[in-house]
Amino acid sequence: MAKDLNSVLPPDHPKYSDAVEAMKRYHQAQAEGIRGAELERLRQLAEHQFQAVTDYQLRILGAPAKPNH
């Protein structure tokens, strides 16, 4: 895949901001002592958002595609 630098997400893109906010919610929940399924849900949401941004950036920059499940 050819590199398309015009499609790279800038650091202030809403997808980055959303991922950072999700991570903040996760860490805030940890600090508040939230445990169990709710904490795990917040962790997975933050992880998924960061992974989605990373996967997109890698595809745009020409990295080999990994299988989508």
CA–CA distances in Å: residue 60 to residues 53, 54, 66: 11, 10, 13
Domain count, the chain: 1
* Residue 50 within any structural domain of the chain: yes
This prediction has a pTM of: 0.77
* Residue 3 within any structural domain of the chain: no
* Residue 66 within any structural domain of the chain: no
* Residue 5 within any structural domain of the chain: no
C-alpha 52: how far from its chain's center?
5
* Residue 65 within any structural domain of the chain: no
Is pLDDT larger for residue 65 or for residue 21? 21
* Residue 27 within any structural domain of the chain: yes
* Residue 41 within any structural domain of the chain: yes
Domain hosting 40: range is: 11-60
Note the pLDDT of residue 50. 93
pLDDT tens digits for 5-52?
A: 677 777 788 998 999 999 999 999 999 999 999 999 999 999 999 999
